[in-house]
Amino acid sequence: MSAMLTADWCPLGKDTYFRKFEIYAMAWQNEINLDNVVLAAASYGGPIAVVRDRKRFIKVQTTGKPVISIYTASGRQMSSIVWTGGQIIHLGWSSTEDLLCVQNDGCVLVYDMFGTYLHTFSMGQEAKDTNIIEAKIFASVNGTGVVVLTSSYRFFLVNNVKEPKVRQLAEVAGLTVPPSSWCVISEDRHTRVLMARGSDLFLLKHSEQHAFPVGLDLRENTKSVVEMAVSHNNRHVALFTDLGHLWIGSADMRKKYCEFDTNCPSRPRQLVW
C-alpha cells in the first residue's frame, strides 16, 4: 500500500491493515465522559445503559444516589432509573432488550428499556452469603444467561434469565485469589467458563466436580492471561497476555490460528470480537 493509502491505516501483522472512522456524532457528546462511566450497549444497535463508575472519584451535583441513564444508539436519552438497591457489579442487556442489573448480593434486577421494573431473580444462597465480585452476561441457545464469581472464588450459572435455574460450575483446586481473566463459552446447549489462573487455563462445567486443565502453547515467560474474549458464534477465542501477545484460536483450545505481538504489554480496557 502506498504512503497515501496508509496515512490513516494501522498495520495488523504483516500484510493486514485496519482503520477507524467516525460514522456519526453521539447526541450526548457534551454530557457524557466515557472515562467516568460504566456503559452497557445492547446488540445490533439497541439501547445503551450508562451509570457513573463507582471506582472513580468525581465531583457530582446530585444527591449521591446512582442514576442509570438509558440512551438510544445515537445518544439520545430515553429514560432513567434512580438506583435505590445494592451495589451494582455488572450491567448488560438480554436478547429481548431487557436491562439486567447484577448486584453484589446475588440479586439480578430486570428492567425494560424505558426504565420500568419487571422482576428480580437470585443467583443463589451462596452468592447472597459471600457476595459477588464479578459477573458476565452472555447469549445462549436459550436466550440470555448470567455467570457470577463469588468472593469465595466459585462460579454460578443461570443459562436462561427467563427461567432462572442456578447451577454451580466446577471448582479450581487451590484458587485463593481472583482469576486473572475469564470468559463464558456457550454452544450446543452446554455452557462452560474458560478461566486463567496466571498462565494456567481451566475449563469449568456444571456437570463436573473439578475443573479441566487446558494445555496451551503460549510464548515463553508468559506469566498471566489478562484478558479473554469469545466470538459471537462461540467458536473462537482471543487471549491477551501480560507480555502484550494476542493469541487467537478455536474455543476448544485445540487449534491456534495465530499469535501476534502487539508491542503493548498494558492491559487493554476492552477485548471484543
The percent of residues above 70 in pLDDT, for the chain, comes to 95
Task: Please state the domain extents for the chain.
Answer: 1-131, 169-273
- B/e letters for 77-114, b = 16+ CB within 10 Å, e = fewer, are eebebebeebebbbbbbbbeebbbbbbbbbbbbbbebe
- Answer whether CATH 3.30.70 is correct for domain 169-273: no
pLDDT at residue 60 greater than cutoff 70: no
Task: Tell me: pLDDT of 23 over 70.
Answer: yes
Q: What pLDDT, in 10s, does the model give residues 219-269?
A: 778 889 999 999 999 999 999 999 999 999 999 889 999 888 988 989 998
What residues contact 105, with CB distance under 8 A and at least 6 apart?
86, 127, 128, 131, 132
pLDDT tens for 100-156 read 999 999 999 999 999 999 999 999 999 999 999 999 999 988 899 999 999 999 999
pLDDT in tens, 24-37: 999 998 889 998 99
**Residue 69, SS3?**
strand
- pLDDT score recorded for residue 4: 52
Predicted pLDDT at 29:
86
Average pLDDT, whole number, for the chain? Answer: 91
Higher per-residue confidence, 175 vs 188: 175
